[in-house]
Amino acid sequence: MAPFRIAILWRGDREARRTASAQNNRYHRIFEELSGLGIHAEPAVYDEEFADGLALGQLAPGPPLMLAAFIGFKLFGIAGAAVAGAAIFLPSFLMILSILSLLQRMKDLQWLRAFMRGVAPAVIGALAVSLVQIAPHAAPDVFTWILMALTVGVILLRNVGPLPLVASGAVIGLLAKNEFVERLAEWAWSYAQKLVTG
């Protein structure tokens, strides 16, 4: 019988999963418990795939909840993506639709405005923490750190949408496979280090 694939993020790569035990990985305990119930389960998403899915989710308008569709696709293909996408968006859509007239009447209430002003910094803080946690997996080497820093710089200094930046990053990543571009990046890095150290 094929193993169940559960939609859980495995913190680490496939090699870490193969060498994991209850002593060296807290996530391993989940799979031990499932095994005790007679269920042979394997994680559906690893750190590097999670970073890829999050990047794909950023291409779509709206929140990175499109990651649910990515995980659904990884598990069950197109049908899984459709079901997971509907499951993540439909409940909140129906809830908002059902209270829309009430929200229209409440939009001028002072306490509601204060609540909305307080929610914005909390969301920004949560996104910043997520960025710090996922950055080492999204940028595993010096080249991708430089590319990420350039991207952040462009976002802060120019009003550029995510699609041109993602497309540019993809082209630069493909070109980076070329040996000349790698040498150029190494030269630029060593030059930047010389500038910093004096």
Name the DSSP letter for residue 3: P
- Quote the pLDDT of residue 79: 92
Give 41's strand partners: 4
pLDDT in tens, the chain (198 residues): 555 656 555 555 666 666 666 555 666 667 777 777 777 766 666 666 676 777 766 666 655 677 788 888 877 889 988 998 899 889 988 998 898 888 788 878 888 888 888 998 998 898 888 888 888 877 788 888 888 888 888 888 888 888 888 888 888 877 776 666 667 777 788 877 877 776
SS3 category, 45? strand
**Do residues 47 and 11 touch, judged by C-beta distance below 8 A?**
yes
Q: Is the pTM of this model over 0.75?
A: no
* CA 140 – CA 130 distance, rounded (Å): 16
10: part of which helix (H) or strand (E)? strand 4-10
